[in-house]
Amino acid sequence: MEITESIKQDLQSAPDWFHKSIATVPRKENFLHAAGNLKYQVWDRANAKNIVVLIHGTGAHKKWWDPIAPLINEDFTVIAPDLPGMGESDHRNAYNFEEFSEALIAIINQEKIVSDYQKIYLVGHSLGGHVAGFMASEFPDLFHGVIMIDSPIRPPTYDYDKHQSTGPLRRIKYYPDKVSIIKRFRLMPPQDCENGWYLRYIAEHSVFDAEEGWRWRFDDKLFATLRRLNNYEFKFQCPALFVAGGKSLLLESKIMKYIREAFKDSMAVEVIEDAAHHVPLDSPLELVSLINNYLRQWEEKK
């Protein structure tokens, strides 16, 4: 990706649809939560009846969805939160799926969208997909559809003692200027990405200037303290879709076979062949097309 002091210059090669999307400015909100403030943004649609909540992955933030959210069907208001400990949301002492879920439900309640007349759909990438699947399983009466994007669901026989984290191995360090830290921006797990303009955009919003210097926004304790869903059993009463990156290093053949077999009666599976793990960055238009197609199908069935 191009890296200079000017993000406008670095994004010159981005396609027109990308520029149009990021020019669509969402409403920015802050929820004063007792456990730590939560930041989120909303793309309000004048005639929208239903809601889509976009949930980012580990160490990411709400701005990952800026190019995608405006392309989601106009029938839906779109909400993108910063999960606790990530983006602009406050850091916490520890992280788990129960608290992630409680934070998102608090945001939903603040937006006053829990009613018999509105349907809420969850879309999550990586960690966000696990959060979405967990919430749909734990609160079946609240959500009406879930889309998990390249979120590995491992079989019960998986040996988690041998699992290696893809998070940072060192504590947060500080950099003298923004260009220096953005040059250190890497996707985790590592992969190539042809859409350098997308990388440059999310990198811009992944850092901030603290007293000690420029640093990443995420809480580095997150990777060590996050209590994951080892051997959790997802149960979907609402419509569900699993979107896999055809080149994803996280979805080996055994995992994909397990997903197809274990959820054959409760979750559809789609593969975007040219995408690796970071499907929203690799194939954003293909992903939006899938999301819109399934949202339309689910709405027509209601």
What is the structure's pLDDT at 296?
96
Which residues lie closer than 8 Å to 187 by C-beta, 6 or more apart?
193, 199, 277, 278, 281
**Residue 79 to residue 65: CA distance in whole angstroms:** 10
What is the structure's pLDDT at 116?
62
- Could you give the maximum distance between any two Cα atoms of the chain, in Å? 55
> Burial of 8 by CB count in 10 Å (0-12 exposed, 13-18 middle, 19+ buried)?
exposed
Closest CA to 126 of 279, 258, 260: 279
Domains and CATH numbers, the chain: 7-301 (3.40.50.1820)
What is the structure's pLDDT at 163?
57
Residues across the chain: 302
Mean pLDDT by 10 residues, the chain (302 residues): 90 97 97 94 93 97 98 96 97 94 95 80 98 97 96 82 56 92 93 96 97 95 86 94 96 93 97 98 98 96 72
Contact in structure between 193 and 281 (CB atoms under 8 Å): yes
**Residue 89 to residue 92: CA distance in whole angstroms:** 9
Contact in structure between 222 and 58 (CB atoms under 8 Å): yes
Residue type, 170: R
Which residues lie closer than 8 Å to 223 by C-beta, 6 or more apart?
58, 59, 165, 167, 168
What is the structure's pLDDT at 165?
56
**Residue 59 to residue 173: CA distance in whole angstroms:** 15
Here the tokens at position 102 are: 């409680």
What is the structure's pLDDT at 115?
65
Q: How many CA atoms lie within 13 A of 97 on its CB side?
A: 18
**Residue 50 to residue 94: CA distance in whole angstroms:** 32
